Structure formats: structure tokens, C-alpha cells
């Protein structure tokens, strides 16, 4: 027998299949448990070499190994079944599977009746580089065991953090983005690391922002939770990309050495952003976010980070178990949950509402989420000079109609002059940037406005979310 024939003979112990994108994989039974590896991975190559060595007391030649892999790839792609490959989290037949990423390849199966440790789940997981193991969850703990480790200013923020964690336990999203801001020394980075350690621990728990959209989706393809640390701002392209990532987006890249084929990266991921300033200033992203503002930790409250992590590691199995208990309750209650008015990220809101009855009275999440979204919208309006000016003008008059360039309001003209120096460079450009046409009528605290232009539409959405009404007029008006 040739070297290639020997390799193909020993490879019959592997169960071959391909993922939905055509990538070939193999299921291997090692030491009594199943492992799943890509055929071109170092781990599968090492397994082939080991099997060859144990039979021949020799090493296969590189050519023989490559020839055998080519044949195995063809078998996986054309004869093997198609299976979905997931990273850390998967759903199948109404059950949630959380990969523990331990040496025995176990996962947690979560269902309406509770959760259990599964040794041979019906789903397949991929183990990207840097993924760390979750602890074996413990039963009988309360989610309140998490509270002492978080520097949160009020109980509503704790409700939202727990709800975000529960949302991260659903495969496919949508996921609200978690934005954390606060002064220096408010434990923003530690909070980001703690939350990720409960769902998707990694060797690199937080990272810098990607330089391009391609890097963002490649990173999302290799982790479940993404945390970006110490931000000073968000470029417009990244804000738009994060909007797509929270609810499921795709990035296309030309395949190497081809002119027509594309490689598609698709993902929906929970995302954490932290920074001293509020970096989420675009309305479309703010409407998909949960925003937290942390207070500085006083000298009397501060403790060594090493001690904090030691205590957290002791409590992590109990906290994870409490999250799994709550998720099981969510699966039981979800078919019966109804909202009179669904907010943005409606699927997340329904899931969090279904889970909350395991730990809090009904309506707790809805109240906290509504207040947080309103505060986020207020912050976006305050950060937008156009919106802030419009709202300020309407506090002193019941009606204002006219074009911005002809406005008799000295306050608006003064605003446009100031905006020209910091926004677009000239008074007339600022007037075009603000809105080509504005018509506002205030009645009983509600503002009715007519305007055109893309920026005014973004701003108008926020006024609408606060209870104001709006509609556009044609540019000819």
C-alpha cells in the first residue's frame, strides 16, 4: 500500500461532512468524546500523522498527506451530509446549546424543562483560536450573585446588564449593543471583561477597533461576543457596520485567484463598546443600544483586580447556572409573552420579558429598557446641534415656519454661524447641512415639523421616538 492509501485507510474512522459554505469537516471520537475539526486544520493533520505513525512507525511524506486530504475533502463535500457549524452558541429544535469549550467537548443543553450537560449534542461547534472554556455551571444560585462584581449606579442598570447577558444566550440575534461610558477609574474595561467571561471567554477579552469592515466581520466570524475597549469615537462606516452586526449582516470579499467568486462573512453578534465619552452619537445605532454610565470608584471602594478575579472565578459557576435557569424559564414563557407596543429590537425585548419572571416581577425589564432608550435618545439629540437647536427654539415659541437661510430667529442664525465653524466650514453649507426646509408647530408639548434632507430625517426619527410627530415636504417647497 502507498502512503496515501494508508492515510485514507486510517481516516475511515472519521465521520466526514461539510458546512453550509462547503468547508469540509470531520467528527473524531477521541478518548470517548466527539471532536469536530476542519480537514485542513492543524489538529486533524496531527491526528492523521499520529494514526499513520502508530501503524507504520514512520511519518507520512508531505505529498502523501496532501493527496490524502484532497481525497477526504472530496468525500466530505460530495458524499458527506451538510451540517451547520456554530461558534459557542447554537439552537436546534427549540433547544439552546452553549459550548463549554472544555477538553471533553461538552456543551450545555437548555430547554423549557431546564438545562443539562450534553456529551453528544446534535449540533456541531467550531473552536477558533483564543477561545477559552466556560466552567461547569452550578445549580441553585441567584443571579444577584453577579451584582457585587459590577460597578453599576442603580438597580435598573443591573436589570439591563442581566437582560443583555440573557440576550447573548440566543443564537442568531438580534442583540442590543452594550455601550459603557464613564470617567477614568470607573471599571469600564473590567465590566466588559466580566460580562464576556460569563458567555464567551477568550484569551483576548477586549480589543481595539478594526480598521475596516472586513476585519470586523472576520473577527465576528471567530467569536460570539465582541468587546472593544477604550474608544474615543466611532467613524460613520463603523457605526453603520455595527448596526448590521447587531441584527445580522454580511460582508462580501472577492475570493483569491478568481474574478467572479465571493467569500461571504455572515454574522449577528453581541457587541460591547466602552470609552470615557459617549461614542454612540448616531441615532440609528443608539436606537439599537443599551447605554450605561458608570461612576468613578472611590478609594474606599477600590480593591485589587487580582482579588476581584479570584472571587469572580469562585462565583462564576453559580452565576452561569443562574443565567441558564433564567434562560430555561424564558423558553417556557416565550410563547405566552405579548407586548402592546414593541420597541426597537423587538425580539430581544420579548425574550428578556419572558426571562424576567424567573428573577423579577413582570414589567421590570420593560420599565428599565424604556427609560434607558429614552435617555439614550435624549443624549443623541443633545449631541446633535441641529436637533438641540430645534428643540430649544420650540421651547419659546408655539410656531415657526420658514427656510433656515431666511429665518428671522436670531437664535437660529447664531446657531448656524456657530455650526459652520465646527461642522461643515461655512454658514451656507451649515444651512444646507441643517435642513433645506423647516416648518414647526408646537401643540401641547408636541412638535410638528416639516423638513427635507437626509440629516433631518435621522434627527426626525429621534423626535418621533420621544413622542413628537413629523412629516417631510418636497424640496420645491
Q: Give every strand in the sheet of 114-118, ordered side by side.
A: 89-92, 95-99, 107-111, 114-118
Q: Considering only CA atoms, which of 153, 148, 175 is closest in space to residue 164?
A: 175
Q: What distance in Å separates the CA atoms of residue 344 and residue 346, rounded to the nearest whole number?
A: 5
DSSP string, 201-251: -BSS-SBPPPSSHHHHHHHHHT-SSEEE-S-S---HHHHHHHHHHHH-EEE
Say how far apart CA 183 and CA 293 lie, in whole Å: 9
Residue in the block written with cell 485589587: 304
b/e per residue 392-420 (b: at least 16 CB within 10 A): ebbeeeeebeeebeebeeeebbebbeebb
Domain with CATH 3.40.50.300 in the chain: 143-376
Confidence (pLDDT) at 248: 81
**Distance of alpha carbon 416 from alpha carbon 433, whole angstroms:** 10
pTM, whole model, 2 decimals?
0.82
Q: What is the pLDDT of residue 344?
A: 79
> φ and ψ at 18, to 5 degrees?
-130, 150
CB-based burial, 160-174: b 16+ in 10 Å, e otherwise = bbbbbbbbbbbbebb
Residue pair 463/449 in contact by the 8 Å Cβ criterion: yes
Q: Give the pLDDT score at 122.
A: 95
Backbone torsion region of residue 185, taken as left when φ is above 0, otherwise alpha when ψ lies between -120 and 50, otherwise beta: left
206: cell is: 477586549
- Specify the 3-state DSSP secondary structure of 168: coil
Q: Residue 185 has what DSSP assignment?
A: T
Encode the chain (477 residues) as per-residue pLDDT tens digits: 788 999 999 999 999 999 988 899 999 999 999 999 999 999 999 999 999 999 999 999 999 999 999 999 999 999 999 999 999 999 999 999 999 999 999 999 999 999 999 999 999 999 998 999 999 999 989 999 999 999 998 999 999 999 999 999 998 889 999 999 998 889 999 999 999 999 999 999 999 999 888 888 888 889 999 999 999 889 999 999 999 898 887 776 665 545 556 667 778 899 999 998 888 888 888 889 999 999 988 888 888 889 999 999 999 999 999 999 999 999 999 999 887 788 778 899 999 999 998 999 988 999 999 889 888 777 666 666 666 666 666 666 666 665 555 444 545 555 555 444 444 444 444 444 444 434 443 333 334 444 334 444 445 555 455 554 444 333 333
What pLDDT, on a 0 to 100 scale, did the predictor assign at position 297? 87
Res 438: pLDDT: 40
Q: Please tell me the CATH superfamily of domain 143-376, with its number.
A: P-loop containing nucleotide triphosphate hydrolases (3.40.50.300)
Amino acid at each position: 500500500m502507498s502512503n496515501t492509501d494508508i492515510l485514507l485507510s486510517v481516516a475511515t474512522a472519521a465521520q466526514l461532512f461539510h458546512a453550509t459554505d462547503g468547508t469540509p469537516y470531520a467528527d473524531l471520537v477521541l478518548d470517548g468524546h466527539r471532536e469536530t475539526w476542519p480537514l485542513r486544520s492543524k489538529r486533524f493533520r496531527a491526528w492523521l500523522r499520529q494514526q499513520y505513525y502508530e501503524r507504520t512507525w514512520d511519518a507520512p511524506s508531505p505529498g502523501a498527506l496532501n493527496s490524502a486530504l484532497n481525497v477526504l475533502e472530496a468525500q466530505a463535500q460530495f458524499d458527506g451530509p451538510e451540517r451547520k457549524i456554530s461558534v459557542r452558541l447554537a439552537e436546534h429544535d427549540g433547544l439552546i446549546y452553549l459550548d463549554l469549550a472544555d477538553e471533553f467537548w461538552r456543551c450545555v443543553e437548555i430547554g423549557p424543562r431546564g438545562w443539562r450537560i450534553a456529551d453528544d449534542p446534535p449540533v456541531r461547534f467550531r473552536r477558533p483560536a483564543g477561545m477559552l472554556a466556560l466552567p461547569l455551571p452550578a445549580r441553585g444560585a441567584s443571579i444577584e450573585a453577579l451584582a457585587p462584581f459590577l460597578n453599576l449606579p442603580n438597580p435598573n442598570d443591573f436589570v439591563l446588564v442581566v437582560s443583555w447577558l440573557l440576550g447573548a444566550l440566543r443564537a442568531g440575534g438580534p442583540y442590543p449593543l452594550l455601550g459603557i461610558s464613564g470617567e477614568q477609574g470607573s471599571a469600564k474595561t473590567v465590566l466588559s471583561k466580566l460580562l464576556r467571561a460569563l458567555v464567551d471567554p477568550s484569551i483576548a477579552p477586549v480589543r481595539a477597533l478594526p480598521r475596516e469592515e472586513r476585519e470586523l466581520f472576520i473577527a465576528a466570524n471567530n467569536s460570539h461576543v465582541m468587546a472593544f475597549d477604550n474608544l474615543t469615537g466611532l467613524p460613520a462606516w463603523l457605526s453603520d457596520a455595527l448596526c448590521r452586526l447587531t441584527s445580522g449582516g454580511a460582508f462580501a470579499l472577492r475570493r483569491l485567484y478568481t474574478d467572479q467568486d465571493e467569500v461571504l462573512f455572515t454574522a449577528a453578534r453581541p457587541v460591547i463598546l466602552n470609552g470615557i465619552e459617549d461614542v454612540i452619537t448616531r441615532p440609528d445605532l443608539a436606537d439599537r443600544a443599551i447605554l450605561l454610565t458608570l461612576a468613578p470608584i472611590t478609594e474606599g471602594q477600590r480593591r485589587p483586580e487580582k482579588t476581584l478575579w479570584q472571587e469572580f472565578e469562585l462565583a462564576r459557576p453559580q452565576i452561569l447556572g443562574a443565567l441558564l435557569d433564567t434562560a430555561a424559564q424564558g423558553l417556557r414563557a416565550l410563547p405566552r409573552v405579548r407586548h402592546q407596543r414593541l420597541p426597537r429590537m423587538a425580539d430581544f425585548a420579548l425574550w428578556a420579558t419572558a426571562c424576567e419572571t424567573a428573577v423579577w416581577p413582570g414589567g421590570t425589564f420593560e420599565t428599565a429598557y424604556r427609560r434607558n432608550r429614552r435617555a439614550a435618545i435624549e443624549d443623541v439629540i443633545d449631541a446633535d446641534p441641529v436637533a438641540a437647536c430645534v428643540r430649544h427654539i420650540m421651547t419659546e415659541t408655539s410656531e415657526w415656519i420658514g427656510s433656515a437661510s431666511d429665518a428671522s430667529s436670531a437664535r437660529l442664525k447664531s446657531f448656524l454661524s456657530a455650526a459652520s465653524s465646527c461642522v461643515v466650514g461655512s454658514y451656507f453649507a451649515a444651512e444646507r447641512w441643517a435642513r433645506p426646509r423647516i416648518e414647526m408647530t408646537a401643540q401641547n408639548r408636541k412638535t410638528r415639523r416639516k423638513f427635507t434632507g437626509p440629516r433631518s430625517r435621522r434627527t426626525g426619527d429621534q423626535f418621533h421616538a420621544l413622542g413628537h410627530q413629523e412629516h417631510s415636504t418636497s424640496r420645491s417647497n
